[in-house]
Structure 1
């Protein structure tokens, strides 16, 4: 008997079987590498989301630890993600930080229930056109949100609305800071041009190859951030930094604290909660699938992954953290660095904790323009821009769904985009399935006078019943019997059966007999359950067209 609920069994438990020193050293190297990569991204994502930089770091530490320890993937890394920037910023602007923390915890409960009820596989049913559309839309919004810090504009708070943001930026463009722009562009150039490949020539390497190999193991984001911070400190550059805006980063983890909660307030957070849970589920499972394709490990358990995401998002807000999910950039880094088990993800979280405890004062001098340059690179990498070029190779339905989801994400928000995208996908699917259903006359047989045979093909469902309803109008005068050959009718729903019953009643009034031949098991089972076979009579449901013609001669 199948279990109704998914058992809670983290992948870590299986990975520890036969765990040895070699695997630990591999995981140690990968975890330290990812921890270094995660530091600037965690701060940048938090600042772009409208919260303090330490909240991003705390999320990366706590949620990253829990997702790796409890998740269903061998190598996935969790933490704050670029996809959440626009969502979190909008929630903070509209509902406030306290309500963001409440919505995140509620989303964690929802994510856990989704995994426990085995709904992880349902996320895969979201069409790829919708995923690409909202991913590209979020990338555009992330890039737009960084223009303020990249240009050094003195704007207290950017509005959440797309067009209002553009208007606000245009209004303050006269305040452009050339030095901030230079720092941001140089950091962007370093991240783009810095060696990233761990694959080196097999032949004897030149000194240049050796240098590239060493450089490839140092993340470009760290190089850019380190140089920008050093120059800002040494030269006392007059640009906005983490210290000037936020006062620095605490040199310790925050205390556990409860946010005031009420059901009346929670009801107002229904949409933000669903948005966080939906996006978290999509991002984490997409990321886990990417990791599966890059490794030879056992495929991830989507339900266990959702339960781990749920625990992480429920717990992290009690320490001031923001929404977390699986992160593709850090997961790919983890895989390329040779991670073998979830221990690498745990080490990445501990490495971040160590950095906070030891090096937090250095963050005072991190220029915000440098983080903006890094995030512009993240936004560019996040988008699948080639898909716009490839649109001409796809059908109109795919184009409408993808472009529509993209525009709705940019102009309105992700929730509206996904809802409308799913509705459009359903409409186009119904239309497509309806066009595949066909009622075609059989003309290659010698038929008795007044007898017509039609072959049904495809699925007779609510989107295709019109073709059955129009059949009486297509019959010539003098028709005395109609045979429906149903061998190629693979599916019939209740609307299709109702249309078939209406057809039979119409034929009865017109004095035309109806015989069904070679009926498949599913349509026949439905007819029997509602008693339609008894109305037709046993002689009207026969195994072949030949038997049907014998009935009507």
Structure 2
């Protein structure tokens, strides 16, 4: 039965609702299996997203463990699973390049505070009204940008300073093609092909983990000359770091504020879209303002533990539901299981080739694009204009510009249509 979001329960976590309804051993077993399934998906994905974002893979795991636990424990959705998201790769990479890792951590912290404030001000319902064409457009733009960012590692290219914008990046990558490594390219494409094949032939199997593990085994057994997590980052720590706040000063705060606003906007949109998808799959209703507060708390905690941006993710949330999750306990257990991996099996991550992670993210980029919906919206003149404006400006400028331009254009079309109806029916 849908549990709604009555005014009295606007800021009650769904975990509290679940426990109040009664929670037994049978539900825990289902949550444990769902949590294990999601952890298997999140393990390689969290590391891949971190590497693509310009930070160490360990920071992706910190994000999934700390942020993922809190998103489920405090959130307004029964099934939401949080962690690092592919949509943030471009923003995180740009922030690291401009302000360094400490600047990134401060950005995540400020974004968390702003998300909490947005939830406290009950802005969740407003964010959910962003036009559909805008969400499809910026998601496609992010996917293209992510795919372009993975070409270097996928092909093992030797490249100096890699440009940030897509077009200059592609030009630089094209000029570096003579340095391509056949071993890296074959390995990366093999991982991508394996993920697609497993999804088609055995959809219940953890295709991403199987493909990345097979790629690491092949690189080790064949002594392939490819960069790995170990050679690039020195491996994965065996435990979480001690919490500490980012170094703070007023000058840095002013510098990172635009990035923090972009993080906040994207985090709010992504998390509420993911929660809405979960609602459609289960017939439940999430509490949007509680969800924003939870995302804020999770981002603040992630920054203290050295993690990157946290948000609810559609892929992990949908996997959680399909695996039979009954409550937020499943998402909490997924985080605990990732921590167990860090404690007992972290050295294995050193053997994972960067080309394998790039192949995984190429698949993620392909899956991010709502191809049928993109084509359908293009057939509508106004929706198509909003879609293309958002998509092209996301590629040419940045995510925030794309979203604002798309929303402004959609609002203009809405106002014109209202006027036309009034003139037609005076």
**TM-score, normalised with respect to structure 2:** 0.95
- Residues 195-274 of structure 1: pairs in structure 2 closer than 5 A: 195=199, 215-274=202-261
2:415 maps to 1:436: no
Deviations 1:80-102 (A, max 9, x none): 00000011111111222211111
Q: 1:195 to 1:426 in 2, by over 3 A?
A: closer
Distance 1:308 1:425 in 2: 30
Cα distance between partner residues in 1 of 2:293 and 2:351: 38
Q: After TM superposition, give the deviation of residue 165 of structure 1 in Å.
A: 0.7
1:61-460 correspondence runs (5 A): 61-195=65-199, 215-296=202-283, 298-394=284-380, 396-438=381-423, 457=426
Q: Secondary structure at the match of 1:228?
A: helix
Cα separation, partners in 2 of 1:158 and 1:381, compared to 1, 3 Å: same
Conserved 8 A contact 1:6-1:118: no
Deviations 1:178-200, CA, capped at 9 Å, x for gaps: 1111111111111001046xxxx
Per-residue CA deviation, residues 58-79 of structure 1 (Å, 9 max, x unaligned), is: 1000000000000000111000
Counterpart CA distance in 2 for 1:344 and 1:258 is 29
Helix, strand or coil at the partner of 2:406: helix
State the distance in 1 between where 2:12 and 2:44 align.
32
1:338 alignment partner, SS class: coil
Q: Does 1:15 align with 2:18?
A: yes
Contact 1:6 / 1:303 at 8 angstroms: preserved in 2?
A: no
Structure 1 residues 57 and 392: alpha-carbon distance in aligned structure 2, compared to 1, 3 A threshold: closer
Aligned partners of 2:160 and 2:240: how far apart in 1? 28
Kindly state the Cα deviation for residue 4 of structure 1 after the two structures are TM-superposed. 10
- 1:7 deviation in Å? 5.3
Find the residue that maps to 1:194 and give its secondary structure: helix
When the two chains are superposed, the root-mean-square deviation of aligned CA atoms in Å is: 1.7
Distance 1:90 1:116 in 2: 29
Distance 1:360 1:425 in 2: 48
The alignment of Structure 1 onto Structure 2 pairs a total of residues equal to 420
Cα-to-partner distance string for 1:99-119 (whole Å, 9 max, x where unaligned): 111111111111111111111
CA-CA distance at 1:231 after TM superposition? 1.7
Q: Which has the higher helix share?
A: 2
The alpha-carbon distance between structure 1 residues 409 and 231, as it changes in their structure 2 partners (threshold 3 A), is: same
Distance, in Å, in 1 between the alignment partners of 2:376 and 2:16 is 43
Which runs of no fewer than 5 residues in structure 2 stay unpaired? Answer: 1-5
1:4–1:14 CA distance, 2 compared to 1 (3 A): closer
Quick check: 1:152–1:180 contact (8 Å CA) kept in 2? yes
| Structure 1 residue 233 displacement after superposition | 1.8
Equivalent residue for 2:33, pick from 29, 32, 38? 29
Alpha-carbon distance in 1 for matches of 2:223, 2:238: 23
Separation of aligned partners in 2, 1:402 and 1:57:
34
Distance 1:293 1:388, change over 3 A: closer
Q: TM-score, normalised by structure 1?
A: 0.74
Shift of 1:392: 4.8
Flag the structure with higher strand content.
1
Higher relative contact order (CA 8 A, sep 6+): 2
- Which residue number corresponds to residue 3 of structure 2? none
User: 1: CA distance between counterparts of 2:378 and 2:133?
Assistant: 14
